[in-house]
Amino acid sequence: MAGFKAFVTLLPFRWPLVFEGPGSVGALCRHIAEVGHRRVLVVTDSELLRKGVVAPVVTDLEQQGVEVVQYDGIVTEPSVTQVEAGLAVQQEMDGQAILALGGGSVLDAAKLIAARARNHRSVAELTGLLRVRRGMLPLYAAPTTAGSGSEVTVGAVVRDDTRQVGKRAAMDLRLLPRAAALDAHLMTGLPPYWTAITGLDALSHAVEAYLSRNATRQTDRDAWQAVRLLTGNLERAWRQGTDLEARQALARGAHLAGRACTVAGIGYAHAIAHQVGPWCGRPHGEVVAATLPLVLEAYRPAGERRLAQLADPVGVGDSGAPAAALIRRLHEFNRLFGIPDAFEGLRQADLPALARAACVEVRWTYAVPRYLDPTQVREIMSRLQPVERPAGLANREGTANGPRCP
């Protein structure tokens, strides 16, 4: 891991040009036209199209003299088939660039469409580390959620629905977009629950990056600031979705968290969520939010000092036991936002295989404060199992899976 840290710090990260503030997507559209692109594929999803989020952006591009074709076939947990369909649209229009307008799923799919356009290799062949050898079609990003930070990460993950192999992940510096707009206006229509789980996903990026043994001074600064922005503004945006100041702060926080975890990495909260979420059919942000405080408890023997430092930007640093106060605050966030603490479909018999898969993901991949064995990971997962209730006893507060996601 020491060697890996040295390798990562020497990588030539080419961070995207960032336009920030309400209305900044217009500046991004002008930039796309100014660099000479005349045919642009807009990759998005049908819900954003229905809500009228896409039309003003398309109009802005067209007013700049850019021909636009839309592909709105991306859904949550995008698939290889959707990437191939988007590639076909790009090839038919002979698109010169791609603008990804949407959440993390849209941005990840757009990265692979752009990579497929340049490499003429299958998604399976692009999977892995540094395999996008010919770069990708110029990609621009306008995130509509403050969560994944995909506009500043080097990864892209999709389901492989063409074979029974689960998800495929490509990791390459060439997957970084050229420019991005962090525009609060694009995020005001996000429903409260999705505001919460995407924001908590971003928070988990920042926390795990700060606790990583691959953290640098710059990732520490990015992660610390991200934690402050996210914890200080998430409740405001959740309560009042049109609060542009809070939305813009979340967008900035998610961006900084994405940049921090791109360099420093993530940890067991994500590795467990990557297994449990798809297994139970639950959104990633929901599962990682429920998992993060449990993982931090397991880290405490080795990560107490760094956890205590993170209590300051959360606002609980004056506690006599700041690490414990930080974990307690994360549990309080989950209760406030209605994050479930258990997930239907997670059975005791499933845990050994899921725990082993999480351990395989972490080992030699993430520089976590403390490595856990499969038994310890299985214990964390067991705390995500629903409590069996006697027949006929109703749950007055809803199902074990919490509020249904819109």
Q: What percent of the chain has a predicted confidence (pLDDT) above 90?
A: 82
Q: What percent of the chain has a predicted confidence (pLDDT) above 70?
A: 92
Q: Distance (Å, rounded) from C-alpha 12 to C-alpha 1?
A: 19
Which tokens belong to 47?
A: 């819900």
The dihedral over CA atoms of 310, 315, 318, 322, expressed in degrees to the nearest 10, equals -40
pLDDT tens sequence across 230-281: 999 999 999 999 999 999 999 999 999 999 999 999 999 999 999 999 899 9
In the prediction, which pLDDT does 387 show?
Answer: 76
CA 33 to chain centre: 28
Q: Distance (Å, rounded) from C-alpha 360 to C-alpha 378?
A: 13
In the prediction, which pLDDT does 392 show?
Answer: 46
- Lowest average pLDDT, out of 168-172, 197-201, 214-218, goes to 168-172
In the prediction, which pLDDT does 174 show?
Answer: 94
Which tokens belong to 317?
A: 């640093």
User: Does residue 93 surpass a pLDDT of 80?
Assistant: yes
Sign of CA dihedral 198, 286, 78, 238: negative
Q: Distance (Å, rounded) from C-alpha 278 to C-alpha 258?
A: 22
386: DSSP letter: P
pLDDT band at 168 (very low <50, low <70, confident <90, very high): confident
In the prediction, which pLDDT does 7 show?
Answer: 57
CATH T-level topology, domain 2-187: Rossmann fold (3.40.50)
CA 292 to chain centre: 14
CA 122 to chain centre: 24
User: Does residue 394 surpass a pLDDT of 50?
Assistant: no
In the prediction, which pLDDT does 10 show?
Answer: 63
Yes or no: say if 71 and 41 are a contact pair by the CB < 8 Å rule: yes
Q: Write a three-state SS string for 153-203.
A: CCEEEEECCCCCCCEEEEECHHHCCCEEEECHHHHCCCCHHHHHHHHHHHH
The stretch 287-307 carries a mean pLDDT of 95
- Give Dmax (Cα) for the chain: 66
In the prediction, which pLDDT does 254 show?
Answer: 98
The stretch 128-154 carries a mean pLDDT of 94
User: Does residue 393 surpass a pLDDT of 70?
Assistant: no
In the prediction, which pLDDT does 211 show?
Answer: 97
User: Does residue 405 surpass a pLDDT of 90?
Assistant: no
Fold matches, 2-187 and 192-382:
no
- Where along the chain do its domains lie? 2-187, 192-382
The stretch 350-359 carries a mean pLDDT of 95
Q: What angle do CA 149, 154, 159 make, to 5 degrees?
A: 85
**Mean pLDDT across the chain:** 91
Strand partners, 71: 43
pLDDT tens sequence across 63-85: 999 999 999 999 988 999 999 99
The stretch 18-44 carries a mean pLDDT of 98
Q: What angle do CA 289, 291, 311 make, to 5 degrees?
A: 70
pLDDT band at 319 (very low <50, low <70, confident <90, very high): confident
Given this structure, which CATH class describes domain 192-382? mainly alpha
User: Does residue 187 surpass a pLDDT of 80?
Assistant: yes
Yes or no: say if 247 and 232 are a contact pair by the CB < 8 Å rule: no
